[in-house]
């Protein structure tokens, strides 16, 4: 028997969007995401297999999950990613597959990913200057990322979204350069507020401050809703979007710190080791890997039990996150040298952002 009801949390928010971290491994070590020496990695045996992810998506798509984002770690370092995306895109009900990548390997992968059914790509780019790029990412070449971004546009991804995390006195001097870059290539640029999750990389620059600096420099900068003829299509669910009177780019602000977007939250997250998280900012994890295990006598061939387990997990989701309180706690713990406990371990590479 299959129970055809939409997935929703205890507050009636429909869950339609699954973010899948396919690996916790990465070819960069961004200062706000990973410590320089890297993190203790999930062993290969503990990584959720593509087969298990596909089974989970098959279960969830029946109940309303239609949108998927592939993230990591760096998703392009996991072997077989193109084949996996092709299989995902064949699942009935899944109509939007996107990826967040650091772009280092995008140039060689872009065409095959597009052909496999990946619809949209977000590329992280925190500086347009080689030395600052290296200071933030600790590894990697800026040019490889830029070539990946250009290639993505060339093979047909649209819109190409570029994500920048600003840290005061490191890259916030580049706000106008980023905007000019987006306008020159008609990219969709999003500024994401730096969240001190697990690491203390510096000071957050709020979305409001960035918006004000752009308004000072560009006279025709306006909220996107005021301009309905804009031809760069966007998904404005968590991003507050702006454009220019000449339509040259969309600039979005994602403000998890200054303006949380819990109200319309439709997300569920899957970690590389097969744990479900109902909120980025709560530590509760639900081990779905052991339920998907084909040797599990209780769940083998019984998708309804797995769905019910996920439904119950969602019922425990809080109405809103308390990130700022947690951030205060975290700062206190950094000062006392206690950075290895609790949520401080939850580096973004594990959760997938
Ligand atoms: N490796 C891929 C990448 O960098 O795009 C995907 C994973 S990464 C964890 C996903 C997104 O989270 C990136 O856009 C990254 O900039 C962002 N991110 C990571 N740590 C962050 C933090 N502490 N605050 C804000 N954004 C963060
Ligand atoms: Fe890797 Fe992305 Fe984290 Fe940077 S933000 S270390 S690229 S996972």
130-157 average pLDDT score: 97
> What is the average pLDDT across 13-28?
94
32 pocket-lining for ligand 1 (C-beta < 6 Å):
yes
Q: C-alpha angle with apex 39: 35 to 43, nearest 5 degrees? A: 165
Specify the ligand 2 atom closest to the Cα of 100. 2
Neighbouring C-beta atoms of residue 269, cutoff 10 Å: 21
Per-residue pLDDT tens for 45-92? 999 999 999 999 999 999 999 999 999 999 999 999 999 999 999 999
C-alpha 32 – ligand 2 centre gap (Å): 8
Burial class (CB in 10 A: 0-12, 13-18, 19+), 138: middle
Q: Does residue 251 have a pLDDT over 50?
A: yes
Of the listed ranges 31-40, 170-179, 222-231, 343-352, the least confidently predicted one is 343-352
| Residues 6 or more apart in contact with residue 100 via CB below 8 angstroms | 69, 70, 71, 72, 75, 121, 122, 123, 124, 163, 352, 353
Chain segment 182-231, per-residue pLDDT in tens: 999 999 999 999 988 767 889 999 999 999 999 999 999 999 875 444 33
What mean pLDDT, rounded, does the chain reach? 86
Ligand 2 centre to CA of 102 (Å) is 7
Q: Is the pLDDT of residue 311 over 50?
A: yes
Choose between 294 and 343: higher pLDDT. 294
Q: How far apart are CA 30 and CA 138, in angstroms?
A: 6
Does the C-beta of 72 come closer than 6 Å to ligand 1?
A: yes
For 6-27, what is the mean pLDDT? 91
Q: What is the DSSP letter of 113?
A: H
Residue 142 in contact with ligand 2 by CB distance below 6 A = no
Q: Is 102 in the pocket of ligand 1 (CB under 6 A)?
A: yes
Residue 195: nearest ligand to its CA?
A: 1
Instruction: Give DSSP secondary structure letters for 278-328.
Output: S-TT----EE-HHHH-TT-TTTTT-HHHHHHHHHHHHHT--SS--HHHHHH
Residue 340: the pLDDT is 30
Are 84 and 53 in contact by the 8 Å Cβ rule? The answer is yes
Does the structure show a pLDDT above 50 at 325?
yes
Residue from 20, 25, 26, 127 to probe ligand 2 pocket by mutation (most atoms less than 8 Å from CB):
26
Residue 350 CB burial class (10 angstroms; 0-12, 13-18, ≥19): buried
CB 30 near ligand 2, within 6 Å:
yes
Write down the pLDDT at residue 136.
97
Among the ranges given (149-153, 233-237, 243-247), the one the predictor scored with the smallest mean pLDDT: 233-237
Q: Which stretch of 35-44, 166-175, 226-235, 291-300 has the lowest confidence by average pLDDT? A: 226-235
pTM for the full model? 0.89
Please say whether the beta carbons of 221 and 283 come within 8 A: no
| Domain 17-351, CATH homologous superfamily name and number | Aldolase class I (3.20.20.70)
- Say how many CA atoms lie within 13 Å of 40 toward its Cβ: 4
CA of 135 to the centre of ligand 2 (A): 13
110: confidence class by pLDDT, cuts 50, 70, 90: very high
Q: d(Cα 297, Cα 274) in Å, to the nearest integer?
A: 18
- 192 Cβ neighbours under 8 A, 6+ residues apart: 163, 164, 165, 254, 256
Digit-coded pLDDT (tens) for 264-309: 788 899 999 999 998 776 667 899 999 998 888 888 879 999 999 9
Give residue 324's pLDDT: 56
Best residue among 102, 280, 347 to mutate for probing ligand 2, ranked by most atoms within 8 Å of CB: 102
Q: What is the distance in A from the centroid of ligand 2 to the CA of 207?
A: 21
Q: Which ligand is nearest to the CA of 74?
A: 1
Which of the pair, 235 or 21, is modelled with greater confidence? Answer: 21
Which pLDDT belongs to residue 345?
39
d(CA 265, CA 238): 9
The predicted pLDDT at position 323 comes to 55
- pLDDT value at residue 133: 98
Would you kindly state where each structural domain of the chain is located, as residue ranges? Answer: 17-351
Q: How far apart are CA 252 and CA 188, in angstroms?
A: 8
- Tell me if 163 CB under 6 Å of ligand 1: yes
CA distance 246 to 269: 37
Q: How far is the CA of 219 from the centre of ligand 1 (A)?
A: 31
329 vs 342: CA distance, rounded Å: 11
């Amino acid at each position: 028997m299959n129970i055809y009801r939409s997935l929703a949390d205890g507050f009636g928010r429909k869950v339609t969007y699954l973010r899948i971290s396919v690996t916790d491994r990465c070819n960069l070590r961004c200062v706000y995401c990973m410590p320089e020496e890297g993190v203790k990695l999930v062993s290969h045996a503990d990584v959720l297999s593509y087969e298990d992810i596909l089974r989970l998506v098959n279960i969830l798509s029946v109940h309303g999950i239609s949108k998927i984002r592939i993230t990591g770690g760096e998703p392009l370092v996991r072997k077989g990613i193109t084949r996996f995306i092709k299989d995902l895109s064949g699942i009935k009900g899944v109509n939007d597959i996107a990826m967040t990548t650091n772009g280092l390997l995008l140039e060689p992968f872009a065409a095959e990913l597009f052909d496999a059914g990946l619809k949209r790509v977000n590329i992280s780019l925190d500086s347009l200057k080689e030395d600052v790029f290296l200071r933030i990412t600790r590894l990697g070449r800026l040019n490889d990322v830029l070539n990946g971004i250009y290639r993505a546009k060339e093979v047909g991804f649209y819109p190409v979204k570029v994500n920048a995390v600003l840290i005061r006195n490191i890259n916030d001097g580049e706000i106008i350069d980023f905007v000019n870059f987006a306008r020159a290539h008609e990219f969709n640029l999003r500024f994401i507020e730096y969240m001190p999750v697990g690491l203390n990389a510096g000071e957050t620059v709020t979305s409001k401050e960035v918006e004000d600096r752009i308004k000072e420099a560009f006279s025709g900068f306006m909220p996107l809703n005021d301009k309905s003829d804009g031809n760069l299509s966007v998904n404005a669910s968590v991003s507050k979007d702006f454009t220019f009177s000449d339509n040259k780019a969309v600039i979005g602000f994602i403000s998890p710190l200054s303006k949380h977007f819990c109200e319309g939250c439709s997300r569920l997250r899957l970690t590389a080791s097969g744990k479900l998280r109902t909120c980025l900012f709560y530590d509760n994890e639900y081990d779905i890997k052991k339920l998907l295990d084909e040797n599990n006598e209780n769940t083998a061939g019984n998708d309804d039990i797995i769905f019910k387990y996920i439904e119950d997990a969602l019922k425990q989701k809080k109405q809103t996150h308390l990130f700022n309180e947690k951030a205060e706690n975290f700062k206190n713990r950094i000062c006392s040298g206690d950075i290895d406990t609790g949520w401080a371990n939850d580096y973004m590479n594990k959760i997938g952002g």
